[in-house]
A = this chain, B = another copy of it.
């Protein structure tokens, strides 16, 4: 937002603030967790006066929902870029590389979507917990499609194993505060993807 006082049309500033709030919500909720984050925290991070937040988001849950849709957006953007690659195997390897490139964040705060899923599961109201499930489902489906294109048997199972491995290594890396776990496990997954044709079809943890 370089032009913070422009006079395009009435909407201009509003949209800017809404976007800033969404981005801030996504970041702060990930770092501090949903329950520990106050509306004031998000307002501050977005550089928006506290009271004004409620003009854009009527409840805290709506902010959480907004953060979730940010995650969805990032996921779509990533898979969209990977879809440019001609080979499904390269697409999957690109996905793993993207995960590994986020190792420092993962080691410090965990996987943004995964930790959100854990937190929202405990949050009874609003069915937000099911919404996270949809985001994860979407990733699962994309991965499954790649395996299908590779002609693998049981692509659904393989997708669960790959995404599960990512969630698992993120959690361990976070709990032990060690980004190297992401690097090592990522390398293992890439190695496994490379050897796919030779393997039967079950991806052991190796």
Contacts and interface: CB of A to CB of B under 8 A. Distances in A.
A136 B205 contact: no
B137 A176 contact: yes
Interface in A1-60: 31-33, 35-36
Interface residues of A, number: 56
Contacts of A199: 204, 206
Given A110-B121, A188-B202, A160 B174 contact: no
Q: Mostly helix, strand, loop or mixed at chain A's interface?
A: helix
Interface in A99-156: 109-110, 114-115, 117-119, 121-124, 129-130, 132-133, 136-137, 140
19 contacts: A33-B121, A35-B36, A36-B122, A110-B118, A114-B171, A114-B175, A117-B175, A118-B118, A129-B175, A133-B175, A157-B188, A160-B169, A160-B172, A161-B185, A164-B165, A164-B172, A165-B165, A167-B167, A188-B203
